[in-house]
Copies of this chain bind each other. A is one copy, B any other.
Amino acid sequence: MTPDRDITVQEVGPRDGLQATDIIMPTQAKIAWIKALAAAGMPQIQVGSFVPPKLMPQLADTAELVAEAKKIGGFSISVLVPNLRGAQNAIAAGADQINFVMSASEPHNLNNVRKTREQSLEEFAGIVAARNDTPGAEHIRVSGGLATCFGCTIQGTVPEADVFHYAEQLKALGADKIGLADTVGYGNPAQVKRVYRHVVDMADDLPVGAHFHDTRGLGLANCFAAFEAGATTLDGAQGGLGGCPYAPGATGNVVTEDLVFMLESMGVRTGINLDLLLEARAVMASHLGDEPTHGTFVKAGVPKGFTPATAI
């Protein structure tokens, strides 16, 4: 963490938000949004994902976005990758952080990447090796992420022992960070606190990330619980983009603006300027067409007498 920040908020809207929308946001619009996020002080932005464009045409411009993001500067550029090939593309593009993701749930992993969890671990080992063996790639951080840590739409309950086991394996294989995700919005704050306490303890000096969906309204409560348990990176998507197809009208990712407001009001410095963050949201919204957006801070604004923790 920098001296100016107590926690890292990562904006994942350009990846997790847009991949769930029906629209394909033009590359220039994404760049304008990322510029506005950078101007607001967003410390980390997940600009896209290296997956086959046929599968996810919304994110086909990820390499270009990484290049443009490097020109903007001032934030860590992360990309999601499901396999070694995606990681090789990320290294070639010049991303700062590779967010590998596999599922804690075996059927979800089989469904999502057609691999067993053990096979995904092998893939992760290959990714770490590729980073290590590529000259000039030493500075790239490789994050080992687990999806469906708090429940799975296929399997239902996911045993906490599975989460702990695969988190340990990712660490043992050389992860620079451990990420846990509530991919489908199943988690509750008591569970979140319990699981994070264990994983934060296991992770030692590695940062631990938290990624929640607000499908059942518990996204911010879960963020608070994860923060209390020691999570050091919290993900959000502006406007709560990324709604679940099984829950029409439900919000998707935690709303970044609401998350940053919560942290700043708690006295936790995010390094983000809330006014400029709302401007970034407006830039995004202007390119969304009829896609629904969510969030309460954008409607209510700051309380009277409010002082953000981040002094800008």
Contact = CB atoms under 8 A, between A and B. Distances in A.
Interface of A: 151-157, 184-186, 188-191, 214-218, 220-221, 223-225, 244, 246-251, 255, 258, 261-262, 265-268, 295-297, 299-301, 303-306
B188 A265 contact: yes
Contacts of A186: 303-304
6 contacts: A153-B304, A156-B304, A186-B304, A188-B265, A191-B266, A217-B261
A295 B217 contact: yes
Count the copies. Answer: 2
Nearest to A267: B190
A262 B300 contact: no
Given A191-B265, A216-B261, A216-B303, 14 more contacts: A151-B305, A156-B303, A190-B266, A191-B266, A217-B261, A217-B296, A218-B220, A220-B220, A221-B221, A221-B223, A224-B225, A246-B300, A247-B300, A248-B299
Nearest to A295: B217
A262 B186 CA distance: 10
Contact of A299 (B191, B250, B266): B250
A81 to B, nearest CB: 27
Nearest to A153: B304
A261 B303 CA distance: 28
Interface pairs A-B: 3 shortest CB-CB: A156-B305, A217-B296, A247-B300
B216 A297 contact: yes
A244 B189 contact: no
A217 B255 contact: yes
Contacts of A217: 220, 255, 258, 261-262, 295-297
Nearest to A185: B300
A299 B215 CA distance: 9
A251 B296 contact: yes
B250 A300 contact: yes
Contacts of A154: 304
A258 B188 CA distance: 11
Most chain B CB within 10 A, of A185, A188, A190, A303, is at A303
A268 B191 CA distance: 12
B300 A215 contact: yes
Contact of A250 (B156, B244, B255, B296): B296
A306 B155 CA distance: 11
A197 to B, nearest CB: 13
B304 A244 contact: no
